[in-house]
Amino acid sequence: MEIRIDDLSGKEIQQFLLNHLSNMHEISPPESVHALDISALRAPDVTIWSAWIEGELAGCGALKQLSNNHGEIKSMRTAEKFIRRGVAANLLAHILQESRRRQYARLSLETGTEPEFQPAHRLYERFGFEACAPFADYVEDPNSIFYTRVLQQFSPAL
């Protein structure tokens, strides 16, 4: 599996993300869909990676910088053909590694509560994420669950 930064110029990733956004709107009420569209994923505070297996797009995941020490996972998605082949786990490990490299103290995310999101909940929990209160600009929502993970503790300067 090859994971690489994606500039979102390819038709394959663009269609993949359009399908992702459409699926989120099928599953969740409109006010509870927090997936980013392609223009938002191109913002300077967002990095997106695509995963490729034998030349085929297998999935994607993004990291949004919320502050100098806090990042948010966005747009995690595995292509149907590659489900249960480690794509999401590899992307998540990659995003965790990049978050540590950026010296984030915390990494958080929002995902849905509908049954379709249960595999994602299990993945995040397996990687040490814990349910938390809404963060950044999010508010309590019965259709959202929030997760966070402490990456490193910083001691105050003496």
Helix (H, G, I), strand (E, B) or coil at 154: coil
Task: Give DSSP secondary structure letters for 74-143.
Answer: EEEEE-GGGTTTTHHHHHHHHHHHHHHHTT-SEEEEEEE-SGGGHHHHHHHHHTT-EEE---TT----TT
Residue 28 contacts residue 143 (beta carbons within 8 Å): yes
- pLDDT at residue 156, rounded to an integer: 53
- pLDDT at residue 152, rounded to an integer: 78
- pLDDT at residue 86, rounded to an integer: 97
Q: pLDDT, tens digit, for every residue of 4-35?
A: 999 999 999 999 999 999 999 999 988 899 99
Show the low-confidence residues of the chain (pLDDT under 50): 155, 158
Packing angle, helices 87-101 and 118-126, rounded to 10: 50
- pLDDT at residue 14, rounded to an integer: 98
- pLDDT at residue 154, rounded to an integer: 55
CA 19 to the chain's CA centroid: 16
- pLDDT at residue 30, rounded to an integer: 86
How many residues would you count in the chain? 158
Task: Give DSSP secondary structure letters for 11-44.
Answer: HHHHHHHHHHHHHHHHHS-GGG-----HHHHTST
- The pTM (predicted TM-score) of the whole model is 0.93
- pLDDT at residue 81, rounded to an integer: 97
